[in-house]
Amino acid sequence: MADIHQRLGHLAVPERTRLLRLLEQQELAVGEISRVVQIPQPNISRHLKALEDDGWVISRREGTARMFAIGDALSEEQRRLWEVVGQAVATDHPEDARRLASVLSTRSGDTRRFFGEVAGRWPEVRRELYGQAFLLPTLMALLPESLRVADLGCGTGDILAVLAPHVAQAIGVDREPAMLEEARLRMQGMATVEVREGSLEELPLDDGCVDAALLMLVLHHVDSPTAVLTEAARVLAPGGRVIVLDMVAHDREAYRRQMGHVFFGFDRDDLAGHAASAGLMIQRYTVLPPDPEASGPALFVSVLSRFMEGAAES
């Protein structure tokens, strides 16, 4: 049986822990490993032999190639050691994930095989390769370039920054000077964006000047959702829409004390009542899937239109 110091000796070699990380994810041939880690094949073979001799990896023949994987029969001692070391090196060489996906995709030129092998972890592979920042800009490209949007209660301008490259005009309105100062700093150089100070109950906007009005996590903070929705309806051009993102009705009383919430969210009937008083009707009300990392109440998104326009469409 190998001495503990010999086992630790293998894990003290960075190239070997790098190989173990790869082989923990995928069975690979020597040439494939070499392309991923960009180390010559003879060096790879030497490290693999040492790891195989000590039981860290196993191999099998597939045609003319030998396929290597992390050992299924690791001893308890090895498993405990690898659990510690594997976690410590988990974020090393992030480019390996990209090259591994590329190598797998070229196996016999068989795309079906690649996706068959990675299907269960494809979201993770795609996230490692490309991140997730591309999702929202891709969807924003669906918007008409002529769109004029008002973000009511814009805060520091998060939504404005996303919209700016894709619409003709984005106007942010907020009553808090400190928030607006941050928004103006962020929007420097963005010709399509304008930030205005004002109350949501008396918007500093002309009648019919925008195609869409956004209320993103705003309504639960205001004293009169009806008054805010009435103003949002006023500034809509014909065919315009009000988009409301907010919390589903909940019973978290602490939010009133901690964050100044006036309303504990809105169910569909609550929102429909406020909207009707403002001359609007619900076109859609969708409860969003919960984010497992979020601690707050569930959210909904709703699309509102003027009564006559909504009736004409339905």
Dump pLDDT digits (tens) for 165-181: 999 999 999 999 999 99
Q: Helical H runs in 146-267?
A: 158-163, 177-186, 225-234, 254-259
pLDDT score at 280: 97
pLDDT score at 148: 97
- 245 - beta bridge partners? 216, 301
Note the pTM of the prediction, 2 decimals. Answer: 0.61
3 state SS of 289: coil
What value does the CA radius of gyration of the chain take, rounded to a whole number of Å?
Answer: 28
Torsion 57-60-62-65 (CA) sign: positive
Dump pLDDT digits (tens) for 190-225: 999 999 999 999 999 999 999 999 999 989 888 899
Query: 4-93 — its CATH code?
Result: 1.10.10.10
- Residue 182: which pLDDT band, with cuts at 50, 70 and 90? very high
CB neighbour list of residue 114: distance below 8 Å, 6 or more residues apart: 101, 104, 105, 107
- Residue 1: which pLDDT band, with cuts at 50, 70 and 90? very low
135-313 belongs to which homologous superfamily?
Vaccinia Virus protein VP39 (3.40.50.150)
Does residue 26 contact residue 65 with C-beta atoms inside 8 Å?
no
Q: Residue 235 is encoded by which pair of tokens?
A: 């500034």
Same fold, 4-93 and 135-313: no
Over residues 277-288, mean pLDDT: 95
Percent pLDDT > 70 in the chain is: 90
Q: Where are the domains of the chain?
A: 4-93, 135-313
Rounded distance between C-alpha atoms, residue 215 and residue 238, angstroms: 19
Rounded distance between C-alpha atoms, residue 204 and residue 196, angstroms: 7
CB neighbour list of residue 150: distance below 8 Å, 6 or more residues apart: 170, 171, 172, 173, 203, 205, 209, 210, 212, 213, 214, 232, 235
Average pLDDT, the chain: 85
Among 59-63, 232-236, 239-243, which stretch is predicted with the lowest mean pLDDT?
59-63
